[in-house]
Structure 1
Amino acid sequence: MDREDILKALSHPMRVEILTWLKEPEAYFKTQEHPLDMGVCASQFERCGLSQSTVSAHLATLQRAGLVTTRRVGQWIFYKRNEETIQAFLKNIGETL
């Protein structure tokens, strides 16, 4: 876990929003055809009103920081929160601040 990378990733409100959506995918991605236990397909993030390239950049930042994991199925990439890293980060922040 790189705390600085995580803090940078969380500095943009859209990336925080994406993590919020991924926390309860059943509430935000009801229209996804694939089972949500696979994760949320990248195309589902169109809901934020940003271009595909901008959404991809946000998702890549979250992935580099270790806040999300990916799974490729055919041509699709599915995203899930990395709860282990998130919890370790929260614990670390709680202990240091």
Structure 2
Amino acid sequence: MDQLEIFKALSNKSRLQILQWLKDPELNFPEQQEAGFGAGVCVGQIQQKAGLTQSTVSEYLSILQRAGLVESKRVGQWTYYKRNEAAFSALTQLIANEL
């Protein structure tokens, strides 16, 4: 776990908001309810909710992924993202025990 990479990823309001949305995808992305959330949330849904350009959202998701906070899955032409809950557990332990 690269602590610096994680805290850099968390230092942006929009990236924090994306992580908050992904914590409860059923509530935050009702448009995708019919398709389900097994693979995560489609990047297009995240981009639409964020109101940012596709390239900005892709960059933010890439930063979060490099930090290990989200995982991606490619399904056909779409990419889906979900939180890496194991990383959040490890981060909680790190903060509780080391910081």
TM-score bracket for the superposition, by shorter chain length: over 0.9
Matched, 1:49 2:51: yes
Counterpart amino acid of 2:70? Answer: V
- Specify the alignment match of 2:65 in structure 1: 63
In the alignment, structure 1 segments of 5+ residues that lack a partner are: none
Please report the TM-score for the alignment, with normalisation by the length of structure 2.
Answer: 0.94
Counterpart CA distance in 1 for 2:94 and 2:12 is: 20
Counterpart CA distance in 1 for 2:39 and 2:56 is: 23
Counterpart CA distance in 2 for 1:19 and 1:3 is: 17
Cα distance, 1:34 vs. partner? 2.2
Counterpart CA distance in 2 for 1:19 and 1:60 is: 13
The residue correspondences of 1:24-35 to structure 2 (distance < 5 A) are 24-32=24-32, 33-35=34-36
The counterpart of 2:87, out of the listed 71, 78, 85, is 85
Identity %: 52
- Specify the alignment match of 1:74 in structure 2: 76
* Cα displacement string for residues 8-31 of structure 1 (whole angstroms, at most 9, x for unaligned residues): 000001111000000000001010
* Cα displacement string for residues 29-88 of structure 1 (whole angstroms, at most 9, x for unaligned residues): 010152112200000011111111001010000000000001100000000100001110
4+ aligned runs moved over 4 Å, structure 1: none
**Residues matched between the structures, number:** 97
Counterpart CA distance in 2 for 1:5 and 1:34 is: 33
Matched, 1:3 2:42: no
In the alignment, structure 2 segments of 5+ residues that lack a partner are: none
